[in-house]
Amino acid sequence: MKTINSLLLGLVLAACPFAESLSQSAGDAQRITVRSNMLGIGGTRVLDTYLSQEHFSGFGLTFLSTSEYLRNNRCWSTLVEHEANISSVHDRADNREELEGAYNLYLGRLRTWKLLDGRLALQAGGMANVTLGVIYNTANGNNPAQARFALNIMPVGAATYRFQLWNISFTARCELAAHLAGIRFSPNYGQSYYEIFSCGNYDHNVVPTTTLSAPEWRTVLTLDARLSKRVTLRLGYLGNFQQADINSIKQHVYTHRALIGITKSFSIIPRQL
């Protein structure tokens, strides 16, 4: 995971117009990494009219890894998040089952404003999101699965507040992101995957999207409690609400997760030459 994060960070910095300011050694500020790994459990709701007209609901598990890279005298930071999800859902009559799995990668750049003597940090910026996933209907003979692929651009905002209570240092954070525009893969209504990949019959299968055709909203709420110099407990909530209405096919995947994990911070002081 560390290797993947390092490669992704390099790509983000190379493509970002603010990369030069981050790579400058003037002042050689501390490079700080805040990393958390969390497990989540909670409800999932799925609809995909390519597979079934029924609504499915059940429970799922999520692994969420978050890394934020910043310098203590810079106002820009880089955010990298890996979100892997798997769910088992049933129809309302509990006769049919669907299995849903997805991996979401989020790469963001955020501008920070510090208030209240540094206790409050407000952040705003943008992020790119790649979604890879599948929905599998165990009752379907033909076309039992629906692939999910999307590339989105999302505005993102966050607020972080640090406070003391019962001689324990707490950090509360709220992160919000919404879909603005992107592209998405989808078969057309009545089109099989055999036609797409074996026969090569393209039929509007890569579709530009906006917040109107594929609205998405993501909320991450966390509370860190620093229990010792090395251990910081993180509790949180993840709500990821993805939906689309493309090629006469409606789809939504709504997930609610209660999160628990550990947060670590690393500081590196560049060596003077």
pLDDT at 86: 97
Mean pLDDT of 42-47: 97
Mean pLDDT of 150-169: 95
* pLDDT bucket at 28, cuts 50 / 70 / 90: low
> In this prediction, what percent of the chain has a pLDDT beyond 70?
87
pLDDT at 265: 84
pLDDT at 19: 39
Is pLDDT of 58 > 80?
yes
Place of tokens 């893969």: 185
pLDDT in tens, 207-240: 999 999 999 999 999 999 998 877 899 999 999 9
Q: Are 19 and 9 in contact (CB under 8 A)?
A: no
Place of tokens 């669907």: 98
Give the predicted TM-score (pTM) of the model.
0.84
pLDDT in tens, 188-216: 988 888 888 888 788 889 999 999 999 99
Is pLDDT of 271 > 80?
no
pLDDT at 243: 94
Q: What is the DSSP letter of 123?
A: E
Task: List CB contacts of 229: < 8 A, sequence separation 6 or more.
Answer: none
Q: In a 3-state reduction of DSSP, which class is residue 22?
A: helix
Percent of residues in the chain assigned helix, strand, coil, to nearest 5: 10, 65, 25
Is pLDDT of 6 > 70?
no
* pLDDT bucket at 269, cuts 50 / 70 / 90: low
Q: In a 3-state reduction of DSSP, which class is residue 19?
A: helix
